Amino acid sequence: MSTTAVLSPSPVVMRAARGSDGRALARLAALDSKAAPRGDVLVAEVDGAIHAALQLDRGVVYADPFRRTADLVALLELRAGEPKPRRTRRGLAERLGLRPAPRARAA
């Protein structure tokens, strides 16, 4: 009789870093031999612990070298690269505050 172990993956939470993440981000940066991130940072959290982070303005990746984080980093980069909602583009006349010319009527 053989038994098969089924491994269930831990859920991953991707979110913006908070002020309370400062110590965890500093620890992650030290593990990755980098200075602590500043500014807007996106983090990947597994089981309540930050395993990877992405500094959005510079694109610097922080990852725990003792864990398998390649997939987490790919998810962070994918999430960071999502297109932002586009505003509708206004025509030149509208941007200049001009009214459209009246249409000519057929006689």
H helices present in 1-107, as ranges: 22-31, 70-80, 92-95
In a domain, 50, yes or no: yes
Look up residue 43 and give its DSSP letter. E
Domain that holds residue 62: 16-80
Distances in Å between the alpha carbon of 51 and those of 20, 67, 81, 85, 89?
Answer: 15, 8, 20, 29, 40
Are 92 and 99 contacting, i.e. CB atoms less than 8 angstroms apart?
Answer: no
In a domain, 85, yes or no: no
Which pair of structure tokens corresponds to residue 40?
């807007």
Per residue in 39-64, pLDDT (tens digit) is: 999 999 999 999 999 999 988 999 99
In a domain, 29, yes or no: yes
SS3 state of residue 15: strand
- Judge whether residue 98 has pLDDT over 90: no
pLDDT of residue 81: 85
In a domain, 35, yes or no: yes
What is the number of structural domains in the chain? Answer: 1
